[in-house]
């Protein structure tokens, strides 16, 4: 076998500098098990008998594509039976599940890998034993003919993330001695599972078993299985999620042959071994492990490789059946309009309407990964209270929506729509993966909206409530100065005097009316239209409608702290600050009244801000 001497334990010599705990753990496995000398190198394929029994390499690939390596992780060896899961996945995707599942079973045989026994239908028990694997190679041969091996080699390379070659000597050695596998091939042809020339099919099988890999390659291949078929290093979707999940299923029940039950009971990580000394272990959504050590136990599984898998599983408690999830941890806040209205200042009659109907808009802020369990919990929280007209789901802190959760969430939206409840989503873009997770299921749901900002969602829902109960949103209505809360308590004469100091101004939508960078020179009373107040960092802190004042903070501060922009075409009375100050000074009672009103407005804002903070920090 050709060995790359330069790669030998070069990682072991660089065990300096800062290391992650997982790398230290793998190093400890190497130290602990390198002294393990039980087992024998396979020699029924004569060329395999030449392997150096001292070799020991471990590699672990994470699903974010980081690859840890210890010891002989770059020494090539033949993949042997570890090719079986990948060729099974390839057959599923190439010929379709129906064709493959008709030829090959998925029951564990409880037999050794080279068993000649077939199931009751004279088909292979499963694709992890030789009979099933030869049948898979036969299916690929049926479809690709003379190109079958190269087709397989390239697919294996996509799993590994690099082009793989073949060990000619091992291939020749197995081809010369592989009569037992030929016998299986003839048996399969006899029962119609193999339809092509047996020797041609066996040639594909022997070649695929002789493909050269390293522990590192195996780790990446295993991580690709763990990652629903996306190679975490190259990012390529190598096979369909269907093929991958079915492949992991048969690895779980049959990957370790007549040790499979014991293995999944004790270690709990789907795995596959090869007589070349490799073990591949793939823990879905977590990691892929590859190990290389040529001495095998009586089942044909690498002795040290098994020890590494056992240690990994027990040390980190990674048994796949040993998992839980907290269904309740995704709701960070659940409140209604009463506790957190939008930043839009409403006129008194609108405020009264919204206060009376605050239960009608419910806001649920979610975070983290949304799973099936989380979304079911959310559904029950919704069902537990009287149905509002609007439910806002704030998803800005949601990192991932799993597929099952996406479906359940969409079913929830459909349920709400049937009762005329509008679901409003905030914090996700239509192009985001989070949206994609639900988009597939939400088609045709009429009562579903989305806005980027939570405040926009709340404001929109408030408008709907106002419209529903008052029949109109009067954003174009002209208001009088007497409606200004800042001027409450002034006499008609005082208001007329004040109006005479100012000038009526009109602004187009989008105009900057006040710039934070400019000195404060005037005060504005909004007569019609909508403006918003925006901090220099772009955050919108308030939306104001007819009847409100802006620029009024200049009565307290010598600097502007925010911009004010017109949202819709705006009419406002602009009063120069100097004139306003003089007006106040000439009428001390009025001046005191206005400052009292200002204090009241600021106190109201503070109360709203405090409620919002407490909604988010309570629980």
* Selected binder of ligand GLN within 202, 209, 487, 573 (CB under 6 A): 209
Binding residue (CB under 6 A) for ligand GLN from 57, 255, 274, 529: 274
Tell me the closest approach of the beta carbon of residue 145 to ligand GLN, in angstroms.
Answer: 22
Binding status of residue 81 toward ligand GLN by CB under 6 A: yes
Choose, by CB under 6 A, the member of 275, 533, 564, 570 that binds ligand GLN.
Answer: 275
Q: Which of 113, 507, 580, 583 binds ligand GLN (CB under 6 A)?
A: 113
Question: Taking CB under 6 A as the criterion, which residues in 450-479 touch ligand GLN?
Answer: none
Q: Which is nearer to ligand GLN, 113 or 524 (CB)?
A: 113
Q: Strand order of the sheet with strand 570-576?
A: 503-507, 570-576, 522-528, 549-550
Q: In the structure encoding, which two tokens stand for residue 99, read together? A: 């064709």
Closest approach, Cβ 51 to ligand GLN, in A, equals 13
Residue 604 CB neighbours (<10 A): 13
* Residue 67 binds ligand GLN (CB under 6 A): no
Give how far Cα 305 sits from Cα of 37, 256, 263, 281, 284, Å. 12, 12, 12, 10, 19
Site for ligand GLN (CB under 6 A): which residue of 59, 137, 181, 247? 181
Closer residue to ligand GLN in complex, CB, 274/290 = 274
C-beta closer to ligand GLN: residue 222 or 354 = 222
Nearer to ligand GLN, 274 or 551 (CB): 274
CB of 178 to ligand GLN, least distance (A): 7
Residue 20: count of CB within 10 angstroms of its CB: 10
187 binds ligand GLN (CB under 6 A): no
In the complex, what is the shortest distance from the CB of residue 289 to ligand GLN, in angstroms, rounded to a whole number? 17
Burial of 572 (0-12, 13-18, 19+ CB in 10 A): buried
Position 39 contacts ligand GLN (CB under 6 A): no
What span, in angstroms and rounded, lies between the C-alpha atoms of 147 and 222?
25
Q: Does position 252 bind ligand GLN by CB under 6 A?
A: no
Query: Does position 174 bind ligand GLN by CB under 6 A?
Result: yes
Residue 47 CB, nearest distance to ligand GLN (Å)?
11
Asked if residues 305 and 110 have their Cβ atoms less than 8 Å apart, the reply is no
Minimum distance, C-beta of residue 180 to ligand GLN, in the bound complex (Å): 7
Closest CA to 447 of 471, 415, 478: 415
Distance CA 82, CA 296 (A): 14
Residue of this chain nearest to ligand GLN (CB atom): 81
Q: Is 80 in the site for ligand GLN (CB under 6 A)?
A: yes
453 SS3 class: coil
CA dihedral defined by 369, 370, 372, 378, rounded to 10 degrees? 140
Shortest distance in whole angstroms from residue 272 CB to ligand GLN:
9
Q: Binding mask 121-150 vs ligand GLN (x if CB under 6 A, - otherwise)? A: ---------x--------------------
Q: Could you give the dihedral angle defined by the CA atoms of residues 56, 57, 60 and 61, in that order, rounded to the nearest 10 degrees?
A: -150
In the complex, least distance from residue 242 CB atom to ligand GLN, rounded to whole angstroms: 26
Count Cα atoms within 13 angstroms, Cβ side, for 103.
27
Strand partners, 366: 331
Nearest distance, CB of residue 333 and ligand GLN, angstroms: 55
Cα distances from 72 to residues 53, 156, 289, 578, in angstroms, run 12, 21, 14, 82
Cβ-contact 84, 132 below 8 angstroms? yes
Tell the smallest beta-carbon distance from residue 250 to ligand GLN (Å): 15
342 binds ligand GLN (CB under 6 A): no
Please give the structure tokens belonging to residue 495: 């208001």
Closest contact distance (angstroms) between CB of 177 and ligand GLN is 10
Helix residue ranges, H only, 96-226: 97-103, 130-144, 148-160, 168-177, 179-190, 198-209, 215-226
Q: Which is nearer to ligand GLN, 81 or 227 (by Cβ)? A: 81
Residues at the site binding ligand GLN, with contacts judged by CB under 6 A? 80-81, 113-114, 130, 174, 181, 209, 274-275, 300
């Amino acid at each position: 076998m050709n060995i790359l001497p330069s790669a030998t334990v070069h990682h072991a010599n660089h065990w300096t500098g800062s290391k992650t705990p997982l790398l230290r753990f793998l190093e400890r496995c190497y130290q602990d098990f390198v002294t393990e000398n039980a087992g024998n190198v396979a020699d029924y394929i004569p060329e395999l008998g030449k392997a150096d029994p001292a070799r020991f390499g471990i590699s672990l690939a994470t699903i974010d594509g980081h690859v840890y390596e210890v010891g002989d992780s770059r020494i090539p060896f033949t993949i042997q039976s570890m090719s079986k899961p990948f060729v099974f996945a390839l057959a599923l995707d190439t010929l379709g599940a129906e064709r493959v599942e008709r030829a090959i079973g998925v029951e564990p045989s409880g037999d050794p890998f080279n068993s000649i026994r077939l199931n009751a239908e004279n088909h292979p028990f499963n694709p992890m034993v030789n009979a099933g694997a030869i049948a898979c190679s036969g299916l690929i041969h049926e479809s690709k003919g003379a190109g079958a091996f190269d087709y397989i080699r390239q697919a294996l390379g996509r799993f590994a993330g690099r082009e793989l070659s073949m060990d000619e000597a091992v291939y020749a050695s197995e081809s010369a001695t592989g009569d037992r596998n030929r016998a299986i091939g003839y048996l399969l042809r006899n029962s119609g599972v193999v339809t092509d020339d047996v020797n041609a099919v066996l040639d594909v099988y022997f070649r695929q078993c002789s493909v050269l890999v390293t522990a590192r390659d195996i780790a990446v291949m295993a991580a690709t299985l763990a990652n629903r078929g996306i190679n975490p290093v190259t990012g390529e979707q190598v096979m369909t999620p269907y093929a991958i999940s079915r492949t992991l299923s048969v690895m779980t029940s049959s990957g370790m042959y007549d040790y499979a039950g014991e293995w999944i009971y004790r270690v709990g990580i789907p795995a596959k071994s090869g007589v070349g000394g490799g073990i591949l272990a793939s823990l879905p959504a977590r990691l892929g492990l590859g190990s290389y050590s040529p001495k095998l136990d009586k089942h044909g599984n690498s002795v040290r490789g098994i020890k590494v898998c056992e240690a990994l599983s027990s040390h980190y408690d990674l048994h796949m059946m040993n998992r839980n999830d907290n269904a309740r941890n995704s709701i960070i806040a659940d409140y209604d309009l009463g506790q957190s209205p939008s930043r839009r200042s409403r006129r008194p009659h609108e405020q009264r309407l919204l206060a009376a109907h605050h239960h009608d808009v419910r806001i649920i802020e979610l975070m983290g990964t949304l799973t099936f369990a989380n979304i079911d919990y959310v559904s029950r929280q919704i069902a537990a209270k009287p149905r509002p007209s609007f439910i806002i789901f704030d998803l800005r802190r949601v990192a991932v929506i799993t597929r099952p959760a996406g479906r359940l969430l969409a079913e929830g939206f459909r349920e709400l729509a049937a009762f005329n409840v509008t679901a409003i989503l905030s914090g996700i873009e239509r192009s985001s993966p989070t949206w994609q997770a639900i988009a597939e299921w939400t088609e045709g749901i009429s009562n579903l909206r989305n806005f980027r900002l939570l405040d926009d969602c709340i404001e929109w829902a408030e408008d709907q409530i106002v419209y529903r109960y008052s029949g109109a949103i009067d954003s174009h209505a002209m208001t009088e100065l007497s409606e200004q809360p800042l001027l409450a308590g002034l006499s008609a004469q005082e208001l007329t005097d004040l109006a005479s100091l100012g000038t009526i101004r009109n602004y187009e939508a989008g105009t900057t009316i006040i710039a934070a960078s400019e000195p404060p020179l005037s005060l504005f009373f909004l007569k019609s239209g909508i403006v918003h107040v925006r901090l220099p960092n772009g955050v919108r802190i308030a939306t104001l409608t007819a009847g409100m004042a802006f620029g009024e903070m200049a009565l307290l501060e010598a600097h502007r702290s925010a911009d004010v922009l017109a949202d819709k075409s705006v009419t406002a009375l602009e009063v120069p600050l100097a004139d306003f100050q003089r007006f106040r000074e000439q009428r001390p009672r009025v001046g005191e009244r206005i400052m009292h009103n200002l204090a009241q407005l600021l106190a109201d804002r503070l109360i709203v801000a405090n409620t919002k903070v407490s909604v988010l920090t309570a629980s």
